[in-house]
């Protein structure tokens, strides 16, 4: 693989040090986010995406026809169904390696969604959005930057549209524009890995009225823009990163969520990819969620870690071969593979867009994500079941290492012969971390609310379930003509034959 500007995880970490950004955590401005003990594990998780590309280039890089060389797969515009499948395989691998969210899927999916939507806006209006986006993609591919995606607005009163809100800033909007560019204001919530990104791609969050043009905006902003302020989100047990090693559970890696305050940020036109085209907002949102909901196969990699932890704790306790334990582990694997199977099936069924890049199957993507809203919680329950009550009642690391009480604790935390009691403690802490601690955000909360809460998937599944066609299958086999006489049926069949070779209308049209 040809060298890129940022070649590995360490160079990525150093690239973050060169920035000056405003990050607040616990009410204080963080001077050095990279080395802050709460933030650093999330930086390490992103760094792993670079190191995997170095170790396994066939998996984590792809040839980009835009710049004529291999690039990190998180920056690649998909050129085939195989590209989408490889994304899923890479995502599962990274989930296995980090046991958490590695924070780059949103940007990858945003670039691919915008690639086709900007093409179609230009096709209709003669604008230059697609060329601008391609130039931006070439730039970030050459530099090997991390792209964060920002879609979710605060929304204010959810019974009102953006233009009806008392405070217009609860949705990101354009406050002015001129020959040089636009100025935007607002905020974005629940932003995965935004502080660890080099650029943020802003997108609208929901369907808009024709008169709400100022809210139909998509653009790219450098993370160190002085108009951006980041407020780090609290996560359960996050301060354990400052306490020691064992109590953390996963001291190496963590996810990251923050709020972005956008205070009158100027964006040059070359970084603007949508400006007022309200009819294309639902198209962009739907295409992004189609990509991103099948990207949640990453949780199957995290699930592999949880299954391994549950099996390990059962082994340490001397019950791995008990029939009820094996049955629970089988159930965990069963649920985990359903998630992976539906996600990767969505990728295998990809089709080309007008722009030439590929998008995965919509209904299977939503089925994948909808499974996650339930299955990860059941897997967490089973893991806690297999761990026992100790998952929530372990003494602290300081107690375990105390010269007087520590040896007594280890005596009573011992299990079968040959198992170091500390290993049992560490595994229990990992399970706690993943199911009720800090990385439960990346595994459970993201599975429930990331890329849209459960009802959002049900709406899309309902849209694509095609009941009329399924009813025809049933009526034909039941011998029901549905009041059509033979001649009408023949005419219908003839019409279907004449139109079967015509391209199908876009399933994204509204």
Show the low-confidence residues of the chain (pLDDT under 70).
1-4, 483-510
Report pLDDT for 295.
98
Q: Per-residue pLDDT tens for 471-491? A: 999 999 999 987 554 444 444
The whole model's pTM is what?
Answer: 0.92
What is the separation of C-alpha 429 from the centre of its chain, rounded to a whole number of angstroms?
Answer: 25
Q: Give the CATH fold of the 295-463 domain.
A: Butyryl-CoA Dehydrogenase, subunit A; domain 3 (1.20.140)
Report pLDDT for 160.
97
Is residue 8 within 8 A of residue 145, CB to CB? The reply is no
Report pLDDT for 509.
31
Domain boundaries, the chain: 9-275, 295-463
Q: Per-residue pLDDT tens for 218-230? A: 999 999 999 999 9
Report pLDDT for 243.
83
CA separation, residue 444 to residues 8, 31, 255, 388 (Å): 29, 31, 12, 20
Cβ atoms within 10 Å, residue 504: 8
Return the H-helix or E-strand segment holding 24.
strand 22-25
Torsion of CA 94, 96, 98, 104, to 10 degrees: 30
Is residue 115 within 8 A of residue 75, CB to CB? The reply is no
Report pLDDT for 492.
47
Residues acting as catalytic residues: 101, 105, 192, 257, 292, 296, 298, 446
Torsion of CA 50, 56, 62, 67, to 10 degrees: 60
Q: Give the CATH fold of the 9-275 domain.
A: Butyryl-CoA Dehydrogenase, subunit A; domain 2 (2.40.110)
- C-alpha count within 13 angstroms, C-beta hemisphere, residue 349: 13
- Helix residue ranges per DSSP H, 61-213: 81-98, 105-125, 129-143
Inter-axis angle of helices 298-316 and 362-387, to 10 degrees? 20
Q: Which residues pair with 72 in a beta bridge?
A: 61
Is residue 244 within 8 A of residue 216, CB to CB? The reply is no
Cα–Cα nearest to 22, from 182, 220, 262: 262
Q: Give the span between the Cα atoms of 106 and 90, in whole angstroms.
A: 14
Report pLDDT for 483.
56
Which pair of structure tokens corresponds to residue 319?
Answer: 């019950």
Q: Give the span between the Cα atoms of 72 and 47, in whole angstroms.
A: 12
Which pair of structure tokens corresponds to residue 23?
Answer: 């990050």
């Amino acid at each position: 693989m040809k060298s890129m500007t940022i070649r590995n995880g360490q160079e990525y970490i150093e690239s973050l040090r060169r920035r000056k950004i405003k990050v607040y955590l616990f009410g204080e401005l963080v001077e050095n986010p990279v080395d802050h003990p709460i933030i650093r594990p999330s930086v390490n998780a992103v760094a792993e995406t670079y190191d995997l590309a170095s170790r396994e280039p066939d998996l984590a890089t792809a040839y980009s026809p835009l710049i004529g060389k291999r690039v990190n797969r998180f920056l690649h515009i998909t050129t085939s169904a195989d590209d989408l499948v490889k994304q899923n395989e890479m995502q599962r691998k990274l989930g296995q390696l980090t046991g958490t969210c590695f924070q780059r899927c949103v940007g990858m999916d945003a670039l691919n969604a915008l690639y086709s939507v900007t093409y179609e806006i230009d096709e209709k209006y003669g604008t230059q959005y697609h060329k601008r986006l391609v130039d931006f993609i070439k730039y970030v591919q050459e530099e090997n930057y991390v792209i964060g995606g920002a879609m979710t607005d605060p929304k204010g009163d959810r019974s009102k549209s953006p233009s009806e809100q008392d405070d217009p800033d609860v949705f990101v909007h354009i406050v002015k524009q001129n020959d040089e560019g636009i100025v935007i204001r607002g905020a974005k919530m629940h932003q995965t890995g935004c502080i660890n990104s080099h650029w943020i791609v802003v997108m609208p969050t929901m369907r808009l009225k024709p008169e709400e043009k100022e809210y139909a905006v998509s653009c790219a902003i450098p993370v160190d823009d002085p108009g951006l302020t980041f407020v780090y989100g609290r996560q359960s047990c996050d301060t354990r990163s400052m306490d020691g090693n064992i109590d953390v559970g996963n001291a190496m890696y963590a996810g990251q969520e923050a709020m972005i305050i956008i205070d009158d940020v100027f964006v040059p036109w070359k970084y603007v990819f949508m400006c007022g085209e309200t009819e294309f907002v639902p198209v962009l949102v739907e295409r992004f969620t189609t990509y991103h909901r099948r990207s949640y196969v990453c949780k199957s990699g995290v699930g592999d870690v949880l299954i391994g932890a549950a099996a390990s704790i059962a082994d340490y306790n001397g019950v791995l071969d008990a029939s009820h334990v094996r049955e629970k582990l089988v159930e965990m694997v069963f649920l985990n593979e359903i998630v992976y199977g539906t996600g990767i099936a969505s990728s295998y069924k990809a089709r080309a867009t007008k722009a030439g890049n590929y998008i995965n199957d919509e209904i299977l993507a939503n089925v994948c994500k909808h499974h996650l809203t339930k299955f990860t919680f059941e897997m967490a329950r089973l893991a806690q079941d297999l761990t026992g009550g100790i998952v929530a009642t372990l003494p602290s690391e300081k107690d375990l290492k105390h010269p007087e009480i520590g040896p007594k604790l280890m005596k009573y935390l011992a299990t079968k012969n040959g198992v170091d009691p500390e290993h049992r403690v560490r595994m229990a802490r990992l399970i706690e971390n993943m199911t009720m601690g800090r990385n439960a955000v990346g595994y459970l909360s993201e599975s429930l609310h990331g890329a849209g809460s459960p009802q959002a998937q049900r709406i899309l599944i309902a849209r694509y379930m095609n009941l009329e066609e399924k009813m025809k299958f049933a009526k034909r086999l039941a011998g029901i003509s549905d009041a059509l006489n033979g001649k009408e049926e023949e005419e219908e069949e003839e019409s279907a034959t004449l139109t079967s070779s015509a391209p199908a209308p876009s399933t994204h049209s509204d």
